[in-house]
C-alpha cells in the first residue's frame, strides 16, 4: 500500500468519525431539549387553550394539556430533560358527577369535601389550611390546601370551583400555583386573609 493510499484511508476514517460524532452530538442535544420541543409542538398544534365538557381553560407556556374521559390534565415539565425533576407542577380539572342544584346542596358538598380532604387526602404530617372561599358568582369555589413539613414551598391545593360543578387538584410550588389560578382558571389564588397559617391535621 502506498503512502497516498494510507493517507486517503486515514482521511476517510477521520471524516467518518467526525460524522458519527456530529450525529451523536445532535441526538444528545435533541434528547436533552425533548421537553422543550414537546411544549413547542403542543402549542403549535393546539394554541393556548384546551376545552372539555363546555369548560375552556388557558394553557400558558411551557405548560401542556390533554383530556381523557372528560378530565383536563395540565402539566409543566422542565425545559431541559432532568432525571431528578420529571414534573414541575400539575393540575387536573374534572367535572363533578352529580353537581349541587341548590345553595343548601352546595354548602353540604363543601362541608363533606373539606372533611374528606383532611381525613383522606393529606398525609398526617402535612400542614393543612382551609376551607378557603375563592371567587364570586359563577366563579365561586372553596379550596383546601396543604404543605409538607419537609418542603414548605410545595403545595397540594384541591378546590371545588365554578359553584361546585368542577374540581381542581394542583401540585406544585407557589409560583406555579399563582399561574394556575390567575392564568389557567381565571380565579383568585386561595390564601387566607392573614397569609399562610397551619392547622392541625
Query: Per-residue pLDDT for the chain (201 aa), expressed as one digit of tens each?
Result: 555 545 555 565 567 666 666 666 565 555 666 777 778 888 998 888 999 998 899 999 899 999 999 999 999 988 766 655 567 899 999 999 999 999 999 999 999 999 888 887 666 657 788 888 888 888 889 999 888 777 777 888 999 999 999 999 999 988 898 899 888 988 888 765 444 333 333
137 contacts 147 by C-beta, under 8 angstroms: no
Residue 179 forms part of a structural domain:
yes
The reported pLDDT for the residue numbered 195 is 40
The reported pLDDT for the residue numbered 78 is 81
The pTM of the full predicted model, rounded to 2 decimals, is 0.75
Residue 8 forms part of a structural domain:
no
The reported pLDDT for the residue numbered 75 is 92
Integer Cα distance of 172 and 160 in angstroms: 18
Number of domains comprising the chain: 1
In which domain, by residue range, is 165 found?
Answer: 47-184
Residue 109 forms part of a structural domain:
yes
Residue 1 forms part of a structural domain:
no
The reported pLDDT for the residue numbered 109 is 94
Which CATH number fits the domain that encloses residue 73?
3.40.1000
Residue 112 forms part of a structural domain:
yes
C-alpha cell of residue 112 = 363533606
Residue 15 forms part of a structural domain:
no
Residue 16 forms part of a structural domain:
no
Residue 116 forms part of a structural domain:
yes
Integer Cα distance of 183 and 20 in angstroms: 45
Integer Cα distance of 144 and 157 in angstroms: 6
Integer Cα distance of 24 and 29 in angstroms: 9
Amino acid at each position: 500500500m502506498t503512502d497516498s493510499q494510507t493517507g486517503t484511508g486515514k482521511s476517510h476514517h477521520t471524516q467518518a468519525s467526525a460524522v458519527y460524532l456530529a450525529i451523536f452530538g445532535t441526538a444528545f442535544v435533541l434528547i436533552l431539549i425533548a421537553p422543550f420541543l414537546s411544549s413547542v409542538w403542543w402549542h403549535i398544534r393546539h394554541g393556548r387553550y384546551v376545552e372539555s365538557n363546555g369548560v375552556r381553560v388557558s394553557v400558558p407556556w411551557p405548560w401542556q394539556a390533554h383530556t381523557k374521559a372528560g378530565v383536563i390534565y395540565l402539566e409543566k415539565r422542565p425545559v431541559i430533560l432532568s432525571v431528578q425533576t420529571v414534573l414541575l407542577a400539575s393540575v387536573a380539572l374534572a367535572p363533578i358527577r352529580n353537581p349541587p342544584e341548590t345553595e343548601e346542596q352546595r354548602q353540604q358538598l363543601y362541608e363533606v369535601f373539606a372533611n374528606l380532604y383532611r381525613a383522606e387526602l393529606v398525609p398526617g404530617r402535612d400542614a393543612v389550611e382551609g376551607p378557603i372561599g375563592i371567587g364570586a358568582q359563577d366563579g365561586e369555589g372553596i379550596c383546601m390546601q396543604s404543605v409538607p413539613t419537609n418542603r414548605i414551598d410545595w403545595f397540594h391545593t384541591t378546590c371545588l370551583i365554578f359553584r361546585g360543578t368542577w374540581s381542581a387538584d394542583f401540585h406544585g410550588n407557589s409560583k406555579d400555583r399563582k399561574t394556575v389560578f390567575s392564568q389557567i382558571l381565571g380565579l383568585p389564588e386561595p390564601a387566607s386573609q392573614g397569609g399562610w397559617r397551619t392547622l392541625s391535621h
